[in-house]
Amino acid sequence: MTRIYIAADHGGYALGRALEERARRAGFDVVWLGADAYDDGDDYPAYAIRVGGAVVADQDGGIDAFGILVLDEAPAGAVAANKVNGARAVVATVSARDAAAARGVVDANVLVIGGVAFEETAWLSLYAFVTSSMEQTVERGRQILQIEEYENAGTIEGWAVQLEPEQIAVRHE
């Protein structure tokens, strides 16, 4: 069962809780990571890092997991979540197609939604995001390896690595 970590700051609290409920009803294993109550003085970095860390830890352990952040400042939340080694956070724009494309191209594992989004649009984006998978091509696998190499070693010296399709281990279905 797919696990979804959801957190929201003051700017996305109501929408975050609505998405939490919809995801539970849809049968996902949902873990709420904050805030426990509406707090108009809270800050997004703690939620972004908490969600990014939980997703990466689960994925490293073989658990199919994703993160959803609903924040007042979505782009800033993506920057914060991306500070977690292994997190690949993207901002949801206006469509489920864009959310699915983020999964298909960079195997994104955290989706950040602006707190002012319409609930139905946000839900469709969330659902498309967690039910899509990375394109299983040599090119996509190589690109992810380049990103991870730079993240971990500060170089992209292995950029010319050649993989056979069966060697691409990243898959979330």
Q: Say what the pTM is.
A: 0.86
The DSSP symbol for 117 reads S
Residues 125 and 78 in one domain: yes
Q: State residue 126's pLDDT score.
A: 96
* CATH code of the domain covering residue 64: 3.40.1400.10
**Structural domain of residue 147, as residue ranges?**
138-167
At residue 94, the pLDDT reads: 62
Whether residue 154 sits in one domain with residue 81: no
List CB contacts of 144: < 8 A, sequence separation 6 or more. 106, 107, 134, 170
CA distance 57 to 17: 23
Residue 144 shares a structural domain with residue 115: no
pLDDT at 164: 59
Q: What is the block-wise mean pLDDT of the chain (173 residues), using blocks of 10 residues? A: 97 97 98 94 96 98 97 95 96 81 89 93 95 82 82 75 56 49
Q: Find the largest Cα–Cα distance for the chain.
A: 50
48, 112: one domain? yes
Residues 20 and 54 in one domain: yes
Token reading at 27? 């049968």
